[in-house]
Structures are given as structure tokens and as C-alpha cells.
Copies of this chain bind each other. A is one copy, B any other.
């Protein structure tokens, strides 16, 4: 048995975590444009070759750092389904309000979103890795509610999901309004009141 392998794996995992933490804190401080692989390496206490061995660019480090986040992994498991669509959506959106108010989460996410808005290549990967899995979780939860008869058959779950999520994203990204529980509750209530099946 080779006893070194597990130690090496633990060391790698420690370096990987340190690199992720360095990338997320640095991009929040200096912005995406001024973030460099050298800067990440210095803060993480590793050589830059260690980073280049695993990731071709700073964008790849950042996207992996975000994806390693528990909330993003949470999306892959889908939204909660208690059988009460309104309660589930409100709970998830309230948790999202908390998350987006947390500076440690917000600063790097905003830096990446702003850079993605300007840079088409980066945004394609940002969408694929982060935005689309989140949206898909909402679409699937709405489709399940539709199958359960909670929302009407004529509703397109994708359009419905965008009508619930995009006002939140837009308020956050462009700072067009407050992000409060009362706002997200209203979004859910307004959408669901409209999407309820009507007695025929």
C-alpha cells in the first residue's frame, strides 16, 4: 500500500480550497479586470504553476470556486418540494436575499457578473456553470407544480421562472430597487395568483 497517496490528495484538496478562497476574496477586492493568476497564487501561498496545472485561466479558477459553493451544488439537487409551491419559492427566494446581502458572497459574484456583461466568452461560461443551473431548478419545480395541478396548463414554466427570478436578478445587478423579503414574497404571490388554474 502506498501511504503517500492520501496525504498528497489531502494536500491537493487544501491547496484547491486555498486557491478558491483567494480567488473569491481577491476578485471582490480588485474586480475581475485586475485579478491575475499571480495574485491568486500569492494570496493562496502556492506557486502560480500549481494553478496553471489545474486551470487554464483566472476565469476557470473563479467559475470552479463558485461552483464548489454549497448553494450552487444545492441547485443541482433541485428546489425543495413540500407540495406547497408558494411556500417553497418564498423560502428559497428569502434565502437568496440573505445570500446576496452577504458581502463575502456578493462582491465576487458581482465582479464576475459585471465582467460577464461586458465579455461574451466569459458570460457564456458564467451562464452555463451558474445562471442556467439555478434557472433550471426553478423551471423544474414549476413543472412539478404544473403536473400536480397547482399552476395552469397554459403556463410555460420557463417563462414563468424568468418572471419570478429575473426581477430579483435585475434589482440586484443594476441596483434598481430594494431586495427585501416583502419584494420576493410579492413576486411569488403575484406570479402564482396569475398562474393558478381557473375554475372553468
Give me the interface of A with B, judged by CB distance under 8 Å: 31, 33, 110-111, 113-118, 120, 123-124, 126-127, 131-132, 135, 154-156, 159-160, 162-164, 166-167, 169-171, 173-177, 186-187, 190-191, 193-195, 198
Contacts and interface: CB of A to CB of B under 8 A. Distances in A.
Q: In terms of DSSP, what is the predominant structure of the interface of chain A? A: helix
B191 A163 contact: yes
Contacts of A194: 191, 193-195
A163 B170 CA distance: 10
Given A174-B123, A175-B123, A176-B131, A160 B190 contact: yes
A164 to B, nearest CB: 8
A102 B160 CA distance: 28
A98 B193 CA distance: 32
A124 B174 CA distance: 8
B135 A176 contact: yes
A57 B135 CA distance: 38
B110 A190 contact: no
B156 A186 contact: yes
A170 B175 contact: no
Contacts of A198: 198
A147 B63 CA distance: 48
Contacts of A114: 114-115, 117-118
19 contacts: A114-B114, A114-B115, A116-B174, A117-B117, A123-B175, A127-B174, A127-B175, A155-B190, A159-B187, A162-B170, A162-B187, A163-B163, A163-B190, A166-B167, A166-B171, A169-B174, A173-B173, A194-B194, A198-B198
